[in-house]
Amino acid sequence: MSGLDCAEEVAILNRAVGPEVGGEAHLAFDVINGRMTVLDSAQPVTDDRIVKLIAGTGMSALPWDADRAEVDRAAHQKRQRLLTAASGGFWAAGFLWHLVETGASGAIALFAGHGEAPMPLAEAGLFALAIVFGVWLVAPKAWSSARRLSPDMNLLMVVAVAGAIGLGEFFEAATVAFFFSLSLYLESWSVGRARNAVSALLDLAPPTARVIREGGREETLPAGEVAIGDRFIVRGGDRIPLDGEVIEGAGAVDQAPITGESALVAKELGDDVYAGTINGEGTLMIRATRAASDTVLAKIIRMVGDAHSRRAEVEQWVAKFARVYTPAVMALAVAIAILPPLLTGGAWDFWFYNALVLLVIACPCALVISTPVSIVAALTSSARAGVLIKGGAYVEAPGRTTALAMDKTGTITMGEPEVAAIHPLNGASARDLLTRAAALEARSSHPLARAILARAEREGLTVTPAEDTRTVPGRGLEGRVGGSAVWLGSDRFAAERGWGEAIPTDLRDRIEIAGATSVAVGDDTGVTGLLELRDRIRPDAKDIVAQLHAQGVTTIVMLTGDNARTARAVASEVGIDEVRAELLPEDKVTAIEELVESHDMVAMIGDGVNDAPAMARAHYAIAMGAVGSDAAIETADIALMTDDIGKVPWLIGHSRRTMSIIHQNIGVSLATKAGFVVATAFGMASMWGAIAADVGVSLLVVANALRLLNGHEAGVPPSGGEQIGEQMARGALAHGH
């Protein structure tokens, strides 16, 4: 849609199209991409009818097509730029003519005019052309507003310009027209700047891939033409064009542009890689597992794009305020123009001039543009840091979080068991005990088996697989190691073999209290020892919980299906406030509902699949480790691209910084306008001051909002990977993508 640049245009379209589709609730807007969506709930209406209604507002529209929309946006911005430049050029020419005609005094008294003499025709003509080009795009919108008896900022400016012309102040009329046109262009530019920042994410994926054909021949193809299953080569230092699986080669990949991870991630045969990430040293041969339009990166782009249309509460407040504010300003301007002359005998032209000044300064441009630009900048910055936020509402929510519920496994813990201790019994050595256990588990892929084998490898043991191994379902393993019969399993397995009492009660209790799992190892003579396994707690979990408490999250709750002793042990170690253990999915829902009743803002962290019912009941939900998980991206309101809960304190800080900047922008806009309204009411303001203040505040709030694109200013220093991602995005912007 051409001309949809801010919330003011949204209000115009709501008034024009809303009645035709059954009400404003049936329309959705994406200002950043210039898109209006008629929802499925709307009354039936043809595309041609909607296009005609939009044309009546001074804007233009066509059925949505992403490629064509980009061309139309570029054409609209070019037209805006040319008209603004023309208005400014003729304004400057008229001003120079004015200086030549009036001499040095004209440079000092800019609005002195020509005294009693009429303005020279050439000078008036130059200013008239400046006015025409300045209001060229504004006048149709103003006329539409006037016909609907619904004042907006476009009507405010056109009335101000017309009033100045009526007073014979062509210079001031031209100045208002030019600077308002400039303000609208800056508004459009700032929206485009935010949109380009999102587009820079898309530029992370190279447009072509080196595909391997039969016979080993390499062929360079557009990434969009690479089919699932095709093999392609990625050399050291190159970016990966498509999601895929490594089928040859090994190396380390920088996943920072997608996940925000600072450390390189080792990749070898069978590992997944993602479009937009950077191959380190060595060459990888990769089999494509997703089409270019379906990669994780492509989904991120779509999700960030869709998020723009989901407005935060503060955005909705600004839009509602502007709808009331503009008619109120019109009424106040009429009062200033009429009441002083009628009640006090003041000069009509003086107070009419002051009413025009009020219309200029009261223009809500700065107010209505600052919030959406801030939200888009915040969404883009978080995406670079590996945190996907699905809408403006969820930019605002984290900063108000008072309660946080999270699962244990994979969130507080690594989700990978490790051998925490070895307890030999009956004269056995720790080395022999671990050797026997590893021999029995050598051919198993069970998580506990992997933990035992990993410990054996760290200890430098040579492991020879046991012979005649047999799995006892639900109990353990049996086999022969070095010619001797050995077994491994749970306490129950030991008891069934008649050795239950051989395990010291105090040792068993100590392991359970620590929240660990015990694995008994023995032979025909009895129990030779216990292995203590536990889910490894994240090294930074305690610090992260402390950060959350320091940020004002008063209640942190662990919701887990694990046993109560294990859960309490983990919670105690990391500083979690409450534990609810041995929960079924429906129990987690109940727990979240209780939190929602007692806290203003409750977040739930889960994996996006098993915890989905509970996540849906929280005020907002965060999915852990969204890379590779379609369900995680689709389920939650916010998705962390890695299993790093350290991003949650960053998210809260980022949210608060965003809201602080938005409140700064609103405060500066309203304070400036309030000051000029008071000055105007006492006849102390000038048109020049009003113009300078309006344009200056617009520039100030846009610049302030775009600071959010520097995500590292949120209070948590970025990792090296985040810096790389930001540098790549900035590089793309610098080259005009």
The answer on pLDDT for 201 being more than 70 is no
- From first CA to last CA, the distance across the chain in angstroms is 21
Q: What is the pLDDT of residues 121-169, one digit of tens each?
A: 888 899 999 999 999 988 888 888 788 777 777 777 788 788 778 777 7
Helix residue spans in 203-281 (DSSP H): 256-259
Would you place residue 388 in the very low, low, confident or very high pLDDT band (cuts 50, 70, 90)?
Answer: confident
Q: What is the pLDDT of residues 542-589, one digit of tens each?
A: 999 999 999 999 999 998 877 777 788 888 889 999 999 878 777 888
Strands laid side by side in the 284-288 sheet:
218-222, 208-212, 231-234, 284-288, 244-248, 272-273
Cβ–Cβ under 8 Å, residues 280 and 236: yes
207, with CB counted inside 10 A (0-12, 13-18, 19+), is exposed
Distance of alpha carbon 108 from alpha carbon 688, whole angstroms: 13
Distance of alpha carbon 249 from alpha carbon 284, whole angstroms: 5
The answer on pLDDT for 733 being more than 50 is no
Which of 83-97, 575-589, 664-678: highest mean pLDDT? 83-97
Share of the chain above pLDDT 70, in %: 82
Q: What is the pLDDT of residues 691-718, one digit of tens each?
A: 777 777 877 888 888 888 775 444 443 4
Would you place residue 252 in the very low, low, confident or very high pLDDT band (cuts 50, 70, 90)?
Answer: confident
Distance of alpha carbon 30 from alpha carbon 311, whole angstroms: 9
Share of the chain above pLDDT 90, in %: 20
Eight-class DSSP state of 708: G
Assigned token pair, 396? 């605002």
Strands laid side by side in the 278-279 sheet:
265-267, 251-254, 278-279
Amino acid at 214: E
Cβ–Cβ under 8 Å, residues 413 and 565: no
CATH topology identical between 399-412+538-650 and 415-537: no
Distance of alpha carbon 273 from alpha carbon 259, whole angstroms: 12
At 540, phi and psi to the nearest 5? -100, 10
Enclosing H/E stretch for 345:
none
CA distances from 399 to 148, 652, 668 (A): 40, 5, 22
CB atoms within 10 A of CB 281: 11
- Looking at residue 203, its pLDDT comes to 63
Would you place residue 399 in the very low, low, confident or very high pLDDT band (cuts 50, 70, 90)?
Answer: very high
**415-537 maps to CATH 3.30.230.70:** no
What is the CATH topology of the domain spanning 208-290? 2.70.150
Q: What is the pLDDT of residues 285-305, one digit of tens each?
A: 999 999 988 887 777 666 665
Distance of alpha carbon 81 from alpha carbon 89, whole angstroms: 12
Give the residue, 246 or 588, on which the prediction is more confident: 246
The answer on pLDDT for 13 being more than 80 is yes
- Looking at residue 723, its pLDDT comes to 36
Distance of alpha carbon 361 from alpha carbon 675, whole angstroms: 10
Domain ranges of the chain: 7-201, 208-290, 399-412+538-650, 415-537
The answer on pLDDT for 720 being more than 60 is no
Nearest 5°: CA angle at 536, between 531 and 537?
140
What Rg, from alpha-carbon coordinates, does the chain have? 34
Give the residue, 202 or 460, on which the prediction is more confident: 460
Cβ–Cβ under 8 Å, residues 406 and 645: yes
The answer on pLDDT for 732 being more than 50 is no
Bridge partners, residue 578, by sequence: 557
CA distances from 590 to 59, 272, 585, 586, 599 (A): 50, 37, 9, 6, 14
254 among known catalytic residues: no
Distance of alpha carbon 430 from alpha carbon 422, whole angstroms: 6
In three-state form (DSSP H/G/I as H, E/B as E, the rest C), the secondary structure along 1-17 is CECCCCHHHHHHHHHHH
Give the distance, in angstroms, between the CA of residue 198 and the centroid of all CA atoms in the same chain: 10
Enclosing H/E stretch for 502:
none
Distance of alpha carbon 280 from alpha carbon 306, whole angstroms: 33
Helix residue spans in 531-604 (DSSP H): 541-550, 564-574, 585-598
Distance of alpha carbon 493 from alpha carbon 508, whole angstroms: 14
Which of 33-47, 201-215, 470-484, 646-660: highest mean pLDDT? 646-660
Q: What is the arithmetic mean of pLDDT over 650-669?
A: 91
Query: Helix, strand or coil for residue 476?
Result: strand
Report the residue count for the chain.
737
Eight-class DSSP state of 43: P
Would you place residue 336 in the very low, low, confident or very high pLDDT band (cuts 50, 70, 90)?
Answer: confident
Catalytic site residue from 243, 254, 407, 491:
407
Which of 110-124, 209-223, 718-732: highest mean pLDDT? 209-223
Strands laid side by side in the 467-472 sheet:
413-424, 526-537, 517-523, 484-489, 476-481, 467-472
Cβ–Cβ under 8 Å, residues 257 and 278: yes
Place of tokens 């088996």: 449
Mean pLDDT for the chain? 80
C-alpha atoms less than 13 angstroms from C-alpha of 249 in its C-beta half-sphere: 22
CATH number of 399-412+538-650: 3.40.50.1000
The answer on pLDDT for 462 being more than 50 is yes
The answer on pLDDT for 179 being more than 50 is yes
